Amino acid sequence: MSTLRKRSDQPAWFMAWGLDHSRGSLFPLTLADSRDYFSYMSRKQRARSRYTGWLECVGFLHHILGVFIEDGYHNDPYVKGLIRQQLMDRPQRKQSRTFRVKEIIDLENFLEELQH
């Protein structure tokens, strides 16, 4: 159920974009609409998960629900370039630090007090 819920957000956002930009029919999915949608998301600085989530959703729509997509939809160099740019612009993960000796001692004392 959570997969369906997760997948339903993506087409809803895509269709809302299509309505806002006076698109006619958004189905079947075409490369031109895909490029325009990705350009829109890029201008609006959407999260990287929106890009990858949309491509996952397109696969779901095509393979599970039988929605027709234009040949080469997943291999479009423009779309792949935007996703690659998103990966490059992603901030580095903040690594956690190790505990200091004093912190470990305090933690041990705290746990010891809980047991008594």
CB 11 within 8 A of CB 61: yes
DSSP state of 70: -
Q: What is the pLDDT of residues 14-69, one digit of tens each?
A: 888 888 888 777 888 888 888 888 888 888 888 777 878 888 888 888 888 888 88
Phi (first) and psi of residue 70, to 5 degrees? -65, 145
The confidence score (pLDDT) of residue 105 equals 92
Residue that is written with structure tokens 């959407």 in the block: 46
Share of the chain above pLDDT 90, in %: 6
Please state the three-class secondary structure of 11-50 as a single string. HHHHHHHHHHCCCCCCCCECHHHHHHHHHHHHHCCCCHHH
Model confidence at 98, pLDDT cuts 50, 70, 90, reads confident
Residue that is written with structure tokens 């505990």 in the block: 99
CB 38 within 8 A of CB 51: yes
Position 102 pLDDT exceeds 90: yes
Tell whether pTM > 0.75: no
DSSP state of 69: B
Closest CA to 99 of 108, 88, 90: 108
Share of the chain above pLDDT 70, in %: 92
Position 1 pLDDT exceeds 70: no
SS3 76: coil
